[in-house]
Amino acid sequence: MYKQVTRLKKRFTTRIGEVSVEQLWDLDINVLDELAVSLKMQYNESGKKTSFLVAKSEKDKEIKLMFDVALDVLTTRVEEMEKENKKAEIKEHNQKILKLIKEKQDVDLGNQTVEELEKLLKKE
């Protein structure tokens, strides 16, 4: 699908101008979403047939191809964002747990007798 779009040298029209397939990856996620919705609407409009005897036009196929590429990029970016958010949540959770462990260790250490603490001193 990507090969076909790049071979056709297709450009995607967005509210910020025309972009290539490669530039789709750098678009703001909301602009990319608008593009996918717009292409889907164009494809749906082009599909309104007055006769089933007429095959889909080349333009219909190109719009569908462009929609598929835009949707694939959007889906991939959303999945990547979700993975990053999950990793950030796990990291934050683990930091809280490590902080609590450290606090408990300090409390446990503070509850020891002077003799026990002296034994824990490290000698050079």
pLDDT digits (tens, 9 = 90+) for 59-118: 788 889 999 999 999 999 999 999 999 999 999 999 999 999 999 999 988 888 888 888
Does the model's pTM come out above 0.75? Answer: no
pLDDT digits (tens, 9 = 90+) for 39-62: 999 888 876 655 555 666 667 888
Q: Which two tokens stand for residue 82?
A: 């979700």
Higher-pLDDT residue of 5, 82:
82
- Secondary structure of 2-66 as H, E, C letters: HHHHHHCCCCEEECCEEECHHHHCCCCHHHHHHHHHHHHHHHHHHCCCCCCCCCCCHHHHHHHHH
- 17 Rama class: left (phi>0) / alpha (psi -120 to 50) / beta: left
DSSP 8-state class, residue 111: T
Higher-pLDDT residue of 31, 111:
31
Q: What confidence score (pLDDT) does residue 25 get?
A: 95
Q: How many CA atoms lie within 13 A of 106 on its CB side?
A: 6
